[in-house]
Chain A
Amino acid sequence: MGPRLFLILCFAGLGAAALVAVIAGVWLITSALPDGGTELRDIVIVYGGGIACLLVAVIAVLWGYLDHALAQPLSAVVRGIQTVVYANPEHRIEVGESHELGGLPAAVNDLVRKLSQARNTVEDAVARATQSLEQQKNQLAVILQDLSEGVIVCNLNHNILLYNSRALQLLHIAGDIGLDRSLFTFMTRQPILHCLGRLSSRVAEGRHADHPEGLMASFVGASCDGRYILDSRMSLILDPDGTATGYVLTFDDDTEELAALGLRDRLLREATEGLRAPVANLSAAAEILGANPSMDASQQSQFKHVILSESRFLANRLERLSAHYRDIITGHWPMSDIYSGNLFNHVARRLKEQRNVTIVMTGLPQWLHGDSYTLVELLNRMILKVSDLTGATSFDLEALRGDRHVYVDVAWQGPAIPSAALTAWLADRLDEALGGLSLREVLERHRTDIWSLADGGERARLRLPLPQAKRAAAPAEVHRLPPRPEFYDFELLARRQDTGELGTRPLRAITYVVFDTETTGLEPEGGDEMVAIAGVRIVNGRILTGESFERIVDPRRPIPPASIRFHGITDETVRDKPPIQVVLPQFRAFVGNAVLVAHNAAFDLKFLKLKEAECGVEFSMPVLDTLLLSAFLHDYTGKHGLDVVAGRFGIEVHGRHTALGDALAAAGVFLKMIDVLEARGVSTLDEALAAGNAMVETRAKLAGA
């Protein structure tokens, strides 16, 4: 309803009410008058009529004025604003002189002016930004054109945003790619999705910060028809918030391949021309010897010498050729360092999508060197075939570090796979990508082979040796950090632990949770708090890497730089993370009925114990300390820091001074210790606890002395 109509209705109502009031008054008075008072009645009627007319007139005039001075200008203001907003930003509101809107029209005009100014500013800014963006894009395009590598930039929907002509050349595309088209029109999908998945999880877990390749990963890409295999790298593009918005693909020029071709040419020449002479000498000598049986002994021995020395020469030459040849066929294949945990995660995820096959990751993760995508395919197919053949649905995946290789072992309940079956499976091809590479070729590229062995207890495994990682060991700085001081607390560790039946069980048959905490400092009772806690489960002598617990905890206090130096967790890291009251009950649930194990356990346990009441949980299970057990086993030395003990047992530590890294290292150490403990006659939980307690007493005495 417009203001004018509203005003008319109001005033019409007012007029009607006044008329009714006057008529009702006149009627009441006249009906109350005594009969015969006709004169008086006439007076009242006339008077009433007069008042009614006057009232109606006053109301009409009032309406007329308000309509003119308020309602009409108000409508004009509304129309004016509409014009500004929808039609002409430069329009100004026009209202007559005689209105009662006060400063409203002027204020609205001011507003309109400001709005228009702001709009102009924004438009200018946008225009300028667009221009500079266009410039930058052009510069980028020029730079891209000059690159000897193919470059394609995509968003996360895999639409192509930018590319250079080298990319077209390498993909053998005539004409244009066309922006916004899907990358998968030109390149095989799986390797790209796989690589993107690897990078995304690296970023999601914050590992890109200290990963040697940062936001980049190498992979083997291919054109859609599989004819062109490309040595490719992917780099994620992050926005300022750290969220991925797209990626850059670069594929290498062929220099490496050309170099390999050159080498191959030389080898072929050596193999053909270079071998002619010795073969000629050999066959001549053999023919002469055969044709002249009556030759005298000294001459015979000369010819025999020729045969012997030439065949030795040929053997050596062959050895050299085959070594070079192996380098050629495998050297060009792009590979990167892969963390076995990530590789297995991909395998597990794919299998879960395909079929009801469970993967249990066990053992300590290792770094290895290979092409992640083809390895995932290989393992995936092998596991499906084994499952088909043996009916097994649960597989253990473990990476073991050997002298020359990292072994990837797939273990299951059931018989081993006959060598002939394995050989047949390896003829399978990766159909969708990479030019129909066969599984055998994937093995060849990794310079390896695969075989199956029966283990004890009706179990069997597939063993796949893979190259060790090329990356250097962890930065030296971390190793220079001093170990946490040993921590003793009689109340905690040396108390009689009532273990009941569990205490008599063999160490190997017990379920453990090996855990570690990172803290703001070394004084649990002086206000220091946990900032991270992690645990990993050991069941039946296997470390279940897939079932680990890892949480950052908000300590609700500032984190001192002195402790950040160790664990790298800052105030920023813990923001939005749950407090200990949330995390500790989760950890308690994770532990379940397991026995706790930690290195320098009293320290970590103290932090748990101090929070028990507050968090409504209790940690009353038996606790083993790998530091004390180390002191028991290796009493000839006083060095029992985690790094030293891990080194002593040949355990490689990844992610030292992260709660999970340290927990995994302690778990590896603990498993090795069980063997040695058994050899020393310590085979049950009670015996292991007693051995540890004895160490607490001696060491506390030493410390007290």
Chain B
Amino acid sequence: MAKSILVVEDEPNIVLSLQFLMKKAGFEVRVARDGEEALAAVEERAPDLMLLDVMIPKRDGYDVCQTVRANPAWAGIYIIMLTAKGREVDREKGIALGANDYVTKPFSTRDLTEKVKQLLDHPA
């Protein structure tokens, strides 16, 4: 069965690209537009990987990440954070709160696809 990806992002223009890229790479893709929707989607069916934007409405990406990590049942979900915040300390906060990787916008689509594939095909 295809691995599933949850894209959590409120910006439709980038959702379009992310959805396209991930589908093309052979993954099943669901989209959530804010933090609450994201957690509801995880509750409904845990994805294999989340592409999680930090600046989303209602509950921010850090909050979602921390909540997911607080549930041992969801420990296997990979989380890649996407954000326009490019400081070293932001990256560190993301990793500290449980993200597996942290990608700063703008990013190269090829690199992102590579990262996702690597995590899902060859789990560490």
Do A and B actually bind?
yes
A residues contacting B by CB (< 8 A) are: 311, 314-315, 318-319, 322, 326, 404-405, 416, 418-420, 423, 447-449, 451, 453, 463, 465
Q: Which of B92-115 contact A (CB under 8 A)?
A: 92-93, 96-97, 106
Tell me if B106 and A423 are in contact (CB < 8 A): no
Tell me if A451 and B86 are in contact (CB < 8 A): no
7 contacts between A and B (CB under 8 A): A314-B106, A318-B106, A418-B63, A423-B60, A423-B63, A449-B93, A465-B92
Closest residue of B by beta carbon distance from A423: B60
Q: Quote the shortest CB–CB distance from B68 to chain A (angstroms).
A: 11
Sample of 4 more A-B contacts, CB < 8 Å, known A404-B88, A447-B89: A318-B106, A420-B63, A449-B89, A449-B93
Tell me if B63 and A451 are in contact (CB < 8 A): no
Q: Which residues on the B side are within 8 Å of A326 (C-beta)?
A: 87
Tell me if A453 and B96 are in contact (CB < 8 A): yes
A449, B97: Cα distance in complex, Å: 12
Closest residue of B by beta carbon distance from A446: B89
Q: Quote the shortest CB–CB distance from B83 to chain A (angstroms).
A: 12
Interface digits, B56-93 against A, CB 8 Å rule (1 contact, 0 not)?
00011011011100000000000000000011111011
A465, B90: Cα distance in complex, Å: 10
Q: Which residues on the A side are within 8 Å of B59 (C-beta)?
A: 420
Q: Which residues on the B side are within 8 Å of A416 (C-beta)?
A: 66
Q: Which residues on the A side are within 8 Å of B60 (C-beta)?
A: 419-420, 423
Closest residue of A by beta carbon distance from B86: A322
Q: Quote the shortest CB–CB distance from A402 to chain B (angstroms).
A: 9
Tell me if A451 and B93 are in contact (CB < 8 A): yes
Q: Which residues on the B side are within 8 Å of A451 (C-beta)?
A: 62, 93, 96-97
- If A423-B60, A451-B97, A463-B96 touch, whether A418 touches B66 (CB-CB below 8 Å) is yes
Tell me if B89 and A465 are in contact (CB < 8 A): yes
Q: Which residues on the A side are within 8 Å of B67 (C-beta)?
A: 418
Q: Quote the shortest CB–CB distance from A441 to chain B (angstroms).
A: 15
Most interface-central of B60, B66, B89, B106 (chain A CB within 10 A): B89
A465, B65: Cα distance in complex, Å: 20
Chain B, interface residues (CB within 8 Å), range? 10 to 19
Q: Which residues on the A side are within 8 Å of B66 (C-beta)?
A: 416, 418-419
Q: Which 7 A-B pairs have the closest CB atoms?
A: A419-B63, A419-B62, A315-B106, A420-B63, A419-B66, A451-B93, A448-B89
Q: Which residues on the B side are within 8 Å of A420 (C-beta)?
A: 59-60, 63
A75, B87: Cα distance in complex, Å: 93
A405, B90: Cα distance in complex, Å: 13
A465, B97: Cα distance in complex, Å: 14
A314, B105: Cα distance in complex, Å: 12
Closest residue of B by beta carbon distance from A450: B93
**Given A315, A322, A405, A419, which contacts B97 in the complex, CB threshold below 8 Å?**
A419
Q: Which residues on the A side are within 8 Å of B86 (C-beta)?
A: 319, 322
A315, B89: Cα distance in complex, Å: 21
Q: Quote the shortest CB–CB distance from A416 to chain B (angstroms).
A: 8
Closest residue of A by beta carbon distance from B69: A454
Tell me if A447 and B106 are in contact (CB < 8 A): no
A551, B67: Cα distance in complex, Å: 50
A603, B87: Cα distance in complex, Å: 49
Q: Quote the shortest CB–CB distance from A431 to chain B (angstroms).
A: 25
A223, B43: Cα distance in complex, Å: 52
Q: Which residues on the A side are within 8 Å of B106 (C-beta)?
A: 311, 314-315, 318
Q: Quote the shortest CB–CB distance from A18 to chain B (angstroms).
A: 111
A447, B89: Cα distance in complex, Å: 8
Closest residue of A by beta carbon distance from B84: A322
Q: Quote the shortest CB–CB distance from B9 to chain A (angstroms).
A: 18
Q: Quote the shortest CB–CB distance from A181 to chain B (angstroms).
A: 43
Tell me if B88 and A449 are in contact (CB < 8 A): no
A416, B63: Cα distance in complex, Å: 12
- If A318-B106, A419-B97, A451-B96 touch, whether A405 touches B63 (CB-CB below 8 Å) is no
Q: Quote the shortest CB–CB distance from A136 to chain B (angstroms).
A: 51
Q: Which residues on the B side are within 8 Å of A465 (C-beta)?
A: 89, 92
Closest residue of B by beta carbon distance from A451: B93
Closest residue of A by beta carbon distance from B97: A451
Q: Which residues on the B side are within 8 Å of A453 (C-beta)?
A: 96-97
Q: Which residues on the B side are within 8 Å of A322 (C-beta)?
A: 86
Q: Which residues on the B side are within 8 Å of A449 (C-beta)?
A: 89-90, 93
Q: Quote the shortest CB–CB distance from B3 to chain A (angstroms).
A: 27
Tell me if A447 and B63 are in contact (CB < 8 A): no
Q: Quote the shortest CB–CB distance from B25 to chain A (angstroms).
A: 20
Closest residue of B by beta carbon distance from A314: B106
Q: Quote the shortest CB–CB distance from B62 to chain A (angstroms).
A: 4
Closest residue of A by beta carbon distance from B88: A404
Most interface-central of A319, A405, A420, A463 (chain B CB within 10 A): A420
Most interface-central of B66, B88, B90 (chain A CB within 10 A): B66
Tell me if A405 and B89 are in contact (CB < 8 A): yes
Q: Quote the shortest CB–CB distance from A260 to chain B (angstroms).
A: 19
Interface digits, B30-61 against A, CB 8 Å rule (1 contact, 0 not)?
00000000000000000000000000000110
A404, B90: Cα distance in complex, Å: 13
